[in-house]
Amino acid sequence: MQTTQLPTDAALSGNVLFYSKPEPLSVEAHGKLGVNALDNPYAFVGQTNMVPLTVTEFAPAALNYPVVFLGDARAPVAIMGLNQNTNLFVEANGAYRADAYLPAFVRRYPFVFATQEDQGRMVLCIDREAPMVSEGGETALFADGKPTPFTENAMKFCTDFEQERRRTESFVKLLQEHDLLTVREFNYTPRNADGSAGQPQKVAEFYGVSEEKLNALSADTFKTLRDNGALGQIYAHLMSLQNWDRLIVAAMDRAQRELPAANA
C-alpha cells in the first residue's frame, strides 16, 4: 500500500470517495425523491480498504482499525483491508461487521457538503445514484416544498462533520508543527510449514506519530498537548497500530471462507 492523496469534498466533480453523481440538493430537482431503508446498505464501502476519519473518531476507530495518516495532507484514515479494493469489514451482500465502528464519513452517505466554486460557499449535495435513493422513496426529502425533518437532520450531520473535518486539519497541523509525523511501515513475518519464521514482508507504508519524537518533547509542550486533548488522540492512534495484526488474521479468515466457493 503506497501513500496516496485522498479525495476531498471540495468539488462537485463526482470524485469524492463513494459518490458517483453528487448533485446540489433542491426541491426543484429532487422534490419527488426519498430514501429507502436497506437491510444491508454498505456495499458501497466494500470496494475501498480505507475510510477518512475525523480526530474525535480516533478512540472508537482504534478498537477495530489501524488509524494512520496518508498523502501530502497527512489525512487520517481507518485501514479496513490489506488490498486496495478489499474491505474486510463489509460482506458481499453489503452487511457491515456488527462489532466494528462505522465512521461518520460512511454514515453521512448519500449526503455530502461540497464547495460551489462560483460562489465560494458550501452546499448540501446528494448522490443521485445511491442505491437507497429513488423517486417515491419511503422517507421523503421534501414535503410541501420544504425539507423534511430527515433532510434537516442530514444537513445538521453534514454541518457537524464539516466542523470536525476542520478540527482534524488543525490537529494534523499541530502534529506537523512539532514534527511528530514520520514514515512508518508494517511488516508481516509468515510462518513456514515447519513452524519456523519466514521471510518478512512489507505490507504497508504510511505516516504515523514517532514515539521517539513524542517522548523528546519538552515538558511544557507535552502538557499543552495533554490539556488540549491532542495527547489522547495521539495515544489512540499509536494503540490502533496493533490492529495491523488483526487485519492479517481477518484476511486469512476471509480467504479460507472463500476457498470452498472458488473450488465449487
* Tens digits of residue pLDDT in 116-133: 766 668 899 999 999 999
Q: What is the CA angle 5-10-15, rounded to 5?
A: 60
Residues 6, 77: contact at Cβ < 8 Å? yes
Give me the pLDDT at residue 203, please: 85
Amino acid at 170: S
> Is the model's pLDDT at 255 over the cut of 90?
no
Beta-sheet strands, E only, within the chain:
22-24, 33-35, 50-52, 67-70, 75-79, 111-116, 121-127, 133-135, 139-140, 142-143, 146-147, 181-188, 201-209
By DSSP bridging, strand 111-116 and strand 133-135 are: unpaired
Averaged over 181-200, what is the pLDDT? 80
Cell of 85: 479494493
> Is the model's pLDDT at 69 over the cut of 60?
yes
Q: In sequence order, which residues have a C-beta less than 8 Å from that of residue 12 and are 6 or more positions away?
A: 22, 23, 24, 114, 115, 116, 117, 125
Give me the pLDDT at residue 8, please: 36
Name the residue among 262, 238, 260 with its Cα closest to residue 66.
Answer: 238
15 — pLDDT class (breaks 50, 70, 90): low
Averaged over 240-256, what is the pLDDT? 92
d(CA 230, CA 239): 14
